Structure 1
Amino acid sequence: MITISKSEQRGQANFSWLDSKHSFSFGSYYDPNNMGFSCLRVINDDVVAPNGGFETHGHRNMEIISFVLDGVIAHKDSEGNVETISTGEYQLMSAGSGIYHSEFNASSEEPLRFLQIWIEPNETHTPPSYQQQNFGKEAGLTPIATPSGENGTFRIKQNASLYQLVLKPNQELNFELLKGRNLYVHHVEGALSIDNNQVRGGDGVKIQQSNNVQLKNEGSENTLTLLFELP
């Protein structure tokens, strides 16, 4: 079963320094029928103005992934991590028993765009941890986060996996799901079809009760997509 949520259906928040689109209920956008999917709780597409950002704030018992689409994040947290996360890089912050952090656009001239993703953990009150890596942009399926942290992936505290999918023009991929597993697709850019359903940037696709999902690049440019394999 496939359920497609179009980009224009996302919730929105607009401030002087932030333009954010919410795939699921978040902040002032509330839809009791759209509180997440499985353990996936938040996908926010954030555009932050030059020098703008999120002041120091706290999180607890949440796996928080940031994926920078354009620009650089300046990150500081209560565990002593002071980092910059550049275009193409991923960050996983396991909030665990509690962590405070700030995120700012490191540029005084150019906007920052990144995806903010929250996944509910299956381990709670654990020590906070921080991971950061650029996994490249090679064509095909690249694992980003896995429960075991195998093969250089982030270790995520949930029985879930995150993949980056890049397809060249006319390239396709069959993604196999074990029985009882779910798939959420967040499409970032390019002309993609999912089981012959056309999707575009910002669309979200819930896939349940399916063993095989076909994804195909229908355009003339590479596509970029995030796939969440979920319990």
Structure 2
Amino acid sequence: MNNYILYKADTRGYADHGWLKSNHTFSFANYRNNDRVHFGVLRVLNDDYVAPGMGFGTHPHENMEIISIPLMGSLAHKDSMGHGETIHVDEIQVMSAGTGVEHSEFNPSTTEASEFLQIWLFPHTLHVTPRYQQLQLDVANRKNNWDQILSPNPEDAGAWIHQNAWFHRADLDQHKALNYNLKDKSNGVYLFVLEGSITVNDHTLERRDALGIWDIENLSVHATADTQLLLMEVPMELPSYLQ
């Protein structure tokens, strides 16, 4: 295999605030690991559990592309752009913070916990006009197939962000295999197992394990159980404003 880094689920940072339980792939808040700050422009991948009726109060962001993917339950979102939406499982929410935005996120259920992925990418351009997008995803599109859920192009399938990145979801039956061809050969791929298990070349990945790989043109994934995957193709070179 070419250049890669393996991120096992149990090596992530962990924070337990009672109402919030969060696994951090990269350094975040009180979790500091100088060897895990980012993967290319992928800066944050938090795997969050929010107790019923709890959530994040209003707080600011700027110059970051923020993607939320609910895995269980729902989240009620409010922001300084005037949006007040609830996002559910099989939806994707994108917020370009740009010149600055404030928002809050709460679990609106009094009985069911919420689980979601919070993902941040460095944008390719600073100080863009803040924007919000929320889309329903078609689960059928990812049955033994890469379903594109995010891209750099507003005209393409899925949501879009200010970065040369593509996200795909796939639900694989046991023993199924999928090949992925990179959209941009200078990018890398961060492959995250939501549920199930796969093999990628000589590596076995199980629930919440991940593989970051670069200097490749394609990769092949084999499901060793019924599996749910998130694939993030991202630029490996940081934007010039960070160099």
Confirm or deny a common fold (TM above 0.5).
Answer: yes
Assess if the C-alpha contact under 8 Å between 2:148 and 2:157 holds in 1.
no
Do structure 1's residue 204 and structure 2's residue 210 form an aligned pair? yes
Counterpart in the other structure of 2:90: 88
Does residue 185 of structure 2 align to residue 183 of structure 1? no
Gap regions ≥5 residues in structure 1? none
> How far does residue 170 in structure 1 lie from its aligned partner after superposition?
1.6
Tell me the number of residue pairs that the alignment of Structure 1 and Structure 2 aligns.
229
User: Gaps spanning 5+ residues in structure 2: where?
Assistant: 236-243
Match of 1:188, SS? Answer: strand
Name the amino acid aligned to 2:187.
R
Inter-partner Cα distance in structure 2 for 1:18 and 1:33: 25
Q: State TM-score, norm by structure 2.
A: 0.91
- Tell me the amino acid that sits aligned with residue 118 of structure 1: W
- 1:50 deviates by 0.7
Among all aligned residue pairs of Structure 1 and Structure 2, give the percentage whose two residues are the same amino acid: 40
Contact kept, 8 Å, 1:10 with 1:24, in 2: the verdict is yes
Q: CA deviation at 1:161?
A: 1.1
Aligned-partner Cα distance in 2 for 1:191–1:137:
19
1:175-212 per-residue CA deviation (whole Å, 9 max, x = no partner) reads 12343221111111112111241101211211111222
Contact 2:65 2:120 in 1 (8 A): yes
1:218 to 215, 224, 234: 224
Distance 1:33 1:40 in 2: 14
1:164 aligned residue (166, 169, 183): 169
Q: Which of 129, 132, 152 does residue 131 from structure 2 map onto?
A: 129
**Alpha-carbon contact 1:51-1:107 (below 8 Å) kept:** yes
Residue equivalent to 2:241:
none
- Report the AA paired with residue 209 of structure 2: D
TM-score (norm 1): 0.96
Aligned to 2:238: none
Kindly indicate whether the alpha-carbon contact (under 8 Å) linking 1:135 and 1:142 is maintained by their aligned counterparts in 2. no
Correspondence for 2:239: none
- The letter for the 1-side match of 2:114 is L
Are the equivalent residues in 1 in contact too, given 2:151–2:157 (CA < 8 A)?
Answer: no
RMSD between aligned residues: 1.2
Contact 2:64–2:122 (Cα < 8 Å) also in 1: yes
Within a 5 Å distance, the mapping from 1:69-148 to structure 2 comes to 69-138=71-140, 139=143, 140-148=145-153
After superposing on structure 2, the runs of 4+ consecutive aligned residues of structure 1 that deviate more than 3 Å are none
The letter of the residue matching 1:157 is: H
